[in-house]
Amino acid sequence: MAVDVAGRRVGFVGLGNMGGRITRRLLGAGLAVTGFDPRPGAVAAAGAAEASSLGDLVRGSDVVLLSLPDSRVVEDVVAGAGGILSAARAGLVVVDLSTSAPASTARLHTRLAQSGVVYLDVGISGGAAAAEAGTLTLMAGGPIAVLDQLGWLFEPIAARVFHMGRSGAGHSAKLLNNFLNAVSLAATAEVMIAAKKAGLDLARLLEVINHSSGVNFATLHRFPSIIRGDYLEGGLTNALMTKDVALYVDYVRGLGAPSLNAAGPLASFGLANSLGYADRISNTVVDALGDVAGGIRLSDTQTQEG
């Protein structure tokens, strides 16, 4: 179905790995997108028009998308000096695609609502490949009536949009999903290093796992490429994965729920950070584990000696 983009004014703050890809999808659908990012060249690389300031972006937009590293940055962009609130008007919609603490999200929702601004927290899943293909899964918190009005915005970027409930529910769902993602990636990396040391055929092992009870997203969609030396660059870094797991631990502690399985991914991605992989895609956690296993690399095209 064609997207009706007539008169739509979109602003985008944070045009990094995911934000840049999403921006290009919106531009490809015929939407005019104005971007703001403190990193030189980030807006131009995504193909968006560059705002001279955050305030100018807000004043020239009906919907502002955020794709930022963490709650601290989101709070500064929204409520800090010269932030969104300083230029916002009633009727503006802010769609936060970041992975943030739900409590922070709920506070910002209340503060923005006092100025007549609607704040939707929209967790995204699917990684860089889904962002490029426009097949992301979105999980949204906030007023469903406003969410339903944004089909023109979400159609170019997402295959599925789920309303999860009140403000904060989208980011809550995102944290829960990301934790499972971290567990499966770290655990599969560990298994694949062991399999390499055992001399198993890694492609055959993945075929077995993917038809058995150990199947998960990492075995299906990541490691078939990783064992060929393709780390699927462009997605969540090890540092951000560590941040997300820590956010999950804080969140479930506040709920009074256990987090007994968090130690594994915190240790694995923490190891990756300490060994110099912090800014690399989180799939390289397998190389960090390989380093401490004697310089193991899954691909035969890579060095296996530390």
Which two tokens mark 292?
A: 């401490």
Q: Can you list the residues of the chain whose pLDDT is less than 50?
A: 1-3, 304-306
Question: What is the spatial distance between Cα 183 and Cα 302, in angstroms, rounded to a whole number?
Answer: 25
Question: What is the spatial distance between Cα 61 and Cα 53, in angstroms, rounded to a whole number?
Answer: 13
Q: Give exposure, 242-259, as e/b (b: 16+ Cβ within 10 Å).
A: bbbbebbbebbeeeeeeb
Question: Residue 123's beta-bridge partner residues?
Answer: 139
Question: What is the spatial distance between Cα 259 and Cα 268, in angstroms, rounded to a whole number?
Answer: 16
Please report which helix (H) or strand (E) contains residue 79, including its range: helix 71-79
Q: Which residues are catalytic?
A: 174
Question: What is the spatial distance between Cα 215 and Cα 208, in angstroms, rounded to a whole number?
Answer: 9
Question: Residue 138's beta-bridge partner residues?
Answer: 124, 161
Question: What is the spatial distance between Cα 121 and Cα 75, in angstroms, rounded to a whole number?
Answer: 13
Is the four-CA dihedral 225, 231, 235, 237 of positive or negative sign? positive
Count of beta carbons in the 10 Å neighbourhood of residue 211: 9
User: Whole-prediction pTM value?
Assistant: 0.92
Helices (H) and strands (E) in the chain, counts: 16, 8
Phi, psi of 102 (to 5 degrees): -55, -35
Question: What is the spatial distance between Cα 282 and Cα 270, in angstroms, rounded to a whole number?
Answer: 11
pLDDT value at residue 163: 98
pLDDT value at residue 5: 64
Asked if 62 and 149 count as a contact pair (C-beta separation under 8 A), the reply is no
What are the chain's domains? 9-165 (3.40.50.720), 173-292 (1.10.1040.10)
Q: What angle do CA 116, 120, 123 make, to 5 degrees?
A: 165
Angle between helices 102-113 and 71-79 (to 10 degrees): 10
Please report which helix (H) or strand (E) contains residue 125, including its range: strand 118-125
pLDDT value at residue 304: 42
pLDDT value at residue 6: 64
